[in-house]
Amino acid sequence: MTRFRVFCAITLAAMVSSSMQPVTEAVQVANLEQALGAWHSTEQFEGEPRVQFAFRRQGNEVVGWVVMLGQKRKGNDRTVLALSFCDVRWDGDRVRFDSILPEDEGTIGWEMRPAADGKGVLAAVTENGAPFAEPIVWDVSR
């Protein structure tokens, strides 16, 4: 009888541990799915969202873009930057991605943390792979 109990306990532990893995993957997929679609910053520039961006599926990958109003570039503080995202990937509780700056000025590393309520946070966290002393952060919503 003791062997039977040990066998049942081992079988139950194996079933529970094997059933937990797909649940974890499903949660991550659901969170990535929460990030897909169009977003905009709550911060405004001349009555428009300062930052607008979106993610979408394209085949087996996720792609995206961002339009940033009123950015400072080459002495002009009213520049509009439009950038595409590359290397979009889910990392635990956030989407990480990069964009290449115009005129080969380098890269910006980004992260976006979506929340279940249709809000989130977008942050520019690295420049050419080096962390910003203080990330540039925007509160965002759908």
pLDDT tens per residue across span 7-65: 333 333 333 333 433 333 333 445 788 899 999 999 999 999 999 999 999 999 999 99
Residue of 102, 52, 116 lying closest to 73 (CA atoms) = 102
Burial class (CB in 10 A: 0-12, 13-18, 19+), 137: middle
Q: Is 111 within a domain?
A: yes
Token pair of 72 as six digits = 């400072």
Q: Is 135 within a domain?
A: yes
- At 77 the pLDDT is 82
Is residue 123 pLDDT above 90, yes or no?
Answer: yes
- At 71 the pLDDT is 86
- At 27 the pLDDT is 39
Q: Is 14 within a domain?
A: no
Q: How many domains does the chain have?
A: 1
Please give the backbone phi and psi of residue 72, each rounded to the nearest 5 degrees, phi first.
-90, 125
For 86, the domain range is 35-141
Q: Is 7 within a domain?
A: no
- At 104 the pLDDT is 86
- Here the CATH number for the domain that contains residue 119 is 2.40.128
- At 26 the pLDDT is 37
Q: For residue range 50-103, what is the model confidence (pLDDT) as tens digits?
A: 999 999 999 999 999 999 999 887 888 888 999 999 999 999 999 999 999 988
- Model confidence, pTM: 0.75
- At 28 the pLDDT is 42
Distance CA 37, CA 34 (A): 8
Q: Is 51 within a domain?
A: yes
- At 126 the pLDDT is 97
